[in-house]
Chain A
Amino acid sequence: MKIISNTIKGMLQFAAVALVVASVAMPQAASANTGANATILNVVTVNYKDAAGVTAYAETASSTVTVNLVGALPTIATPANQTVASGGTSTYVYTITSNANGSDQYNIAAGNNATNTTGSSSTPSVASIVLGSSVVTEVTAVDTVKIPAGSATNLTVGDIVVIGGVDYKISALKTPAGTVTANGTAASHANTAGDGQAGVTTAEVPVLVTLVANNTAASATTVAGSNTAPAFTVGTTPATTGNVVGGLIAEQGTFTVAVTGTAGPNPGPGTVVTPITVTPVTVPPTGPPTITTPGVTTTFSGPNLAITKEVSVDGGATFAATGAGAPGSTLTYRITVTNNGTGDATSVIVTDPMPLYTTYTAGTAKSGTAVGTTYVAAPTVLTDAVDVPEPYDFTANTATLNVGTLAGGATTVLFYQVTID
């Protein structure tokens, strides 16, 4: 049993490998651990001697394989809901972070699901955004990571990148020798013309990305950075805490979405829900081709007025919807207008024609701003004459109160007295 030829042994191993491969490779590995456009250069060397075992020779051959981009849905941070005046504009700042192993373009579309809102629109600031990304192969300093040559496409100084869940800002892209570089230089191999001699392999010049804290301040078009200084664990082992080897260095972009609309036609607020759909140009190998956020809700404040009219038979102390009085007795009416909405009601005019069988008592009109005010307690005495700027008139047997703007939650109360004919 000991005599087993190398050939058979090798074939047995080969068969065993095939089984392992089938079980491992079937669900396509979703997490990409090599930056796109990295070059896998394999240089094989054969060393040998002549029959006498004296003269040594060498020969080389090489193979170059390029690592492709694996499309992935980005991570989108949804901002908080906003409330604005009807007819106003809410501007939302979104962050979008790549999850791919290389640079890709992401197309952005905004939905507009309106409720009791007219003329609404949701408009992204850009139709698409390009985000660079790569995979860290080594941490060379607490603030510097190495990525493969060719994989730094669209990663530039000033970009915000997320590494290990924390946002940083790129301060430099350099070669290990300290020269500013955009994308490094891939490894290459050139065979020498002469036989029996090894060729020349030129090592990869990777890109070292130096990072600083992302101190971006929040503004109308940006979100605040975490302002965390990089403190990576130097090395190549991905296992240790704080080490980011094998993880993405993924660009984070921002875009804004402007949502406008006017509350109505019904009283009260209108709402617009704005889901954002992002489509990577490079289709992810598995899963859905797009990602849609649940959507922020913009509330357009609308006024919502309620009006009540009550009568008092005791001179304005207590009021009720109904009452009874003898001819010649005095009735005190109280009209309460409340804006139960959140937005201002403008051009509010209360008009009240005198009821039948009554005669308006001149000079009895008063007004207040609190619900439930008695006639006596009403703070403002109104005059009947048509005059400016006083807002109350009594003309054509009709009481007219020009309230003007009644803010959300505010109340105006009008009193006047009549006698029963």
Chain B
Amino acid sequence: MKYILTLAMMMLPAMVWAAPEVKVDITAEKIVMVEKDGKVVEQRAVANEVLPGDELVYTLAYKNVGDQPARDINIDDPIPNDTVYVVDSAYGPGSEIFFSIDGGKTFKQPSLLSYEVDVNGQKMKRKASPEQYTHIRWSTREVGVGKSGVASFRVRVK
């Protein structure tokens, strides 16, 4: 309804300046395993409540409902409390995906994420493991007027 309203407003000639307006929506679904034709297959169900050990799929849908293209779009999502990022689950067609291990201060590609540890007085570089990821960022250069996109990732409830 809100989208429709916004669209309607866009069409009003009274609109004085053009601006991009990127809306983002988030949905959480849990993965349930069901048996179908003798095979165990994965299905998604709306997740209002989960059990520890469940996997959650967060889907981030975004759309530029403005009347001007949006630039340098960064969708930032922290890994929620009490959950762990599932390896290789970040998905985002058309986006570059970066991760942070420092609470969202810096974002890098997984291969470049490292941290220093003190081993017998020597500083050693260690590659960050997915459990250490604190934030995910999907970067897109431009989202045109009326264009939409999707990003998703999975976490496991601790």
Q: Give the residue name and chain of the B residue nearest to A37 (CB).
A: B49
Please report whether the interface of chain A is mostly helix, strand, loop or mixed according to DSSP: mixed
Looking at the assembled complex, report how far the CB atom of B74 sits from the nearest CB atom of chain A, in whole angstroms: 5
Q: A10-B91, A22-B42, A51-B69 are in contact. Are A285 and B51 (CB under 8 A)?
A: yes
How many interface residues does chain A have, given as a range? 35 or more
CB-based contact B76/A67 at 8 Å: no
Which B residues are CB-close (under 8 A) to A285?
A: 51
Q: Is B86's beta carbon under 8 Å from chain A?
A: yes
In the complex, which residue of chain B has the Cβ closest to the Cβ of A18?
A: B42
Residue of A nearest to B72 (CB): A49
Stretch from A28-36, A290-298, A314-322 contacting the other chain:
A28-36
Q: Collect the chain A residues with CB atoms within 8 Å of residue B75's CB.
A: 44-47
Q: Is the CB of A13 within 8 A of B91?
A: yes
Candidates A5, A28, A57; contact of B20 at CB < 8 Å: A57
- Which of the four size classes fits the interface of chain B? 35 or more
Contact between chains at A34 and B27 (CB < 8 Å): no
Segment at the B interface, from A58-66, A162-170, A374-382, A401-409? A58-66
Check if A63 sits within 8 Å of B94, measured CB to CB. Answer: no
| Chain B interface mostly | strand
Contacts of B76 in A (CB 8 A): 44-47
* List of A residues within 8 angstroms of B83 by Cβ: 40
Q: Give the A-B contact count at a CB cut-off of 8 A.
A: 182
**B120 beta carbon closer than 8 Å to chain A:** no
What mask results when residues 2 to 25 of chain B are scored 1 for a CB within 8 Å of chain A, else 0?
000010000000000011111111
Alpha-carbon distance between A324 and B112 when the two chains are bound, in angstroms: 111
CA distance A25 to B49 in the complex (A): 17
B residues with CB within 8 A of A: 6, 18-28, 31, 33, 40, 42, 47-56, 58, 60, 62, 68-78, 80-83, 86-96, 143, 154, 157-158
Which of A's residues lie within 8 Å of B, judged by CB?
A: 5-7, 10-11, 13-14, 16-18, 20-22, 25-26, 28-29, 31-34, 38, 40-53, 55, 57, 59-63, 65-68, 70, 101, 135, 137, 148, 187, 195-196, 204, 246, 285
Sample 19 A-B pairs with CB under 8 A, ordered by A number.
A10-B93, A17-B86, A17-B87, A21-B86, A25-B53, A28-B51, A40-B80, A42-B28, A45-B77, A46-B74, A46-B76, A48-B73, A49-B71, A50-B71, A61-B24, A65-B49, A66-B48, A101-B52, A137-B81
